[in-house]
Amino acid sequence: MIPFYNESTTIKKIIVDTLDYVELVIAVNDGSTDDSSSQIFLDENVIVLSERENRGKGFALRKGFSKAVELGCDAVITIDADLQHDSGSIPALLTGLASFDLVLGNRLKDLSEMPFQRVMSNKLCSFLLSKKTGMKIIDSQCGFRAFSLKVLQKVQTRSNGYEAESEIIILVARAGFKIGFVEVPTIYGNEKSKMNPVKAIFGFIKVLFY
C-alpha cells in the first residue's frame, strides 16, 4: 500500500517496482494538487483511492488498510512514494511475518546517509516508544512496514498525521501482538520533507499519552 501526496515524479516508478514483489498495489492519493494521479497506469493489479483534500498520512494509511481488510489481503506492506524505500526489501519484510505480527524496517545499521536531525529525532522517539510499550523499538520512524491481516482487523489508529505511525506501534503492542524488525537500506536524496515539525512533535506527544 502506497500513500502519496504530490509525488508526480516518483509514483509511477514506485508502483512498477513494488509490483515485482506483490500481487496488488493500493495507492492512496491524499488530495494531491499536482498530476500524480495521471502518472499512474491503469492495471488490474493497481487500485487507486483518492481524497479531494489533503487529510494527512495517518488518514491515508487508515483508508488503505480498510480497503485491504475488505479485500481479505493476507498481509499488507506500506511503502513511501518518494523512493526512500527499496522495494527489494519487501520479501524480507514478508518473511518476518512468519515470526511477528508487525515488522518494521530498520534503517539504523548504516546512518551515513541519514540527516543528523533525523537520526536524533528517530532515536529519541524510538527510546520513548520503547519505554511506553515495554518492547525494544529500534527504528520507530520508518514507514516501510509489513502488517499481518489480524493486526489490521483488530487495531485502528485515530490520528490523521504522521504521528499515526507511532500510534500504531503503541496500539499493536497494547493488543499483545509481536513486533519485529528487518534491516533495510537507508536512502535519502534531495527530496523535501512534507512533515510539519511542530505539528509532528505535538502529535507524537499526544499519542504517548494514549
Residue 38, class by beta-carbon neighbours within 10 Å (0-12 exposed, 13-18 middle, 19+ buried)? exposed
| pLDDT tops 80 at residue 6 | yes
What percentage of the chain exceeds 90 in pLDDT?
A: 79
CB 49 within 8 A of CB 26: yes
- The tens digit of pLDDT for each residue in 65-88 reads 999 999 999 999 999 999 999 999
- The tens digit of pLDDT for each residue in 178-198 reads 999 999 998 876 556 677 777
- Average pLDDT of the chain is 93
3-state DSSP assignment of residue 180? strand
CB 14 within 8 A of CB 81: yes
- Which CATH fold would you assign to the domain 2-208? Spore Coat Polysaccharide Biosynthesis Protein SpsA; Chain A (3.90.550)
- The tens digit of pLDDT for each residue in 42-57 reads 889 999 999 999 999 9
pLDDT of residue 105: 97
CB 28 within 8 A of CB 42: no
- The tens digit of pLDDT for each residue in 125-162 reads 999 999 999 999 999 999 999 999 999 999 999 999 99
Cα dihedral across residues 18, 19, 23, 25: positive or negative: positive
Longest dimension (CA), the chain: 45
3-state DSSP assignment of residue 33? coil
Length of the chain (residues): 210
Domain parsing of the chain, residue ranges:
2-208
